Amino acid sequence: MDQNGAVVGPLYLFELASSQARYLELRQSTIATNVANANTPGFKARDVEPFNKVLDGMPVRLATTSPSHMQLSAAETDTRKIAKKDSWEVVHSGNSVSLEQEMIKGNDVNRDYSMNSAIVRSFHRMVLSSAKA
């Protein structure tokens, strides 16, 4: 219960972080497959759907635990990208793998994983400190 007597729901941050880590593992594996087949004639580069598509079915709403909190509409909290990027080039052999693009994707995965880990560590410390108090 919060300070106003309202019931506060369970925290699903660890489950969400675990789902994103599995997504990042799959995306990194897909990128590695693309790089490994960079010289394979006719190979088409692949990528996985963005992680926010996973969240589309379960919208995350901001909790208001005080009457003084601002209310935001769903349109104001929607931060999904709508543009899809295609491969940069297709060579004469029909291969569409761009090593530069794959390295950029790999760096994106690394950055997202680092952020995911930092958030989980911070949340874990917060839970531990509240349990000790």
Q: Does the global pTM surpass 0.85?
A: no
The token pair at 38 is: 């960079």
Task: Domain ranges for the chain, please list them.
Answer: 10-38+97-132
Would you give the DSSP letter of residue 59?
Answer: P
Could you list the pLDDT tens digit for every one of the 133 residues in the chain?
445 554 445 567 888 888 899 999 999 999 999 999 988 898 888 888 888 876 676 555 556 667 776 665 554 444 333 344 555 666 667 788 888 999 999 999 999 999 999 999 998 898 888 888 6
The token pair at 102 is: 């794959």
Whole-number Å distance between alpha carbons of 105 and 33: 13
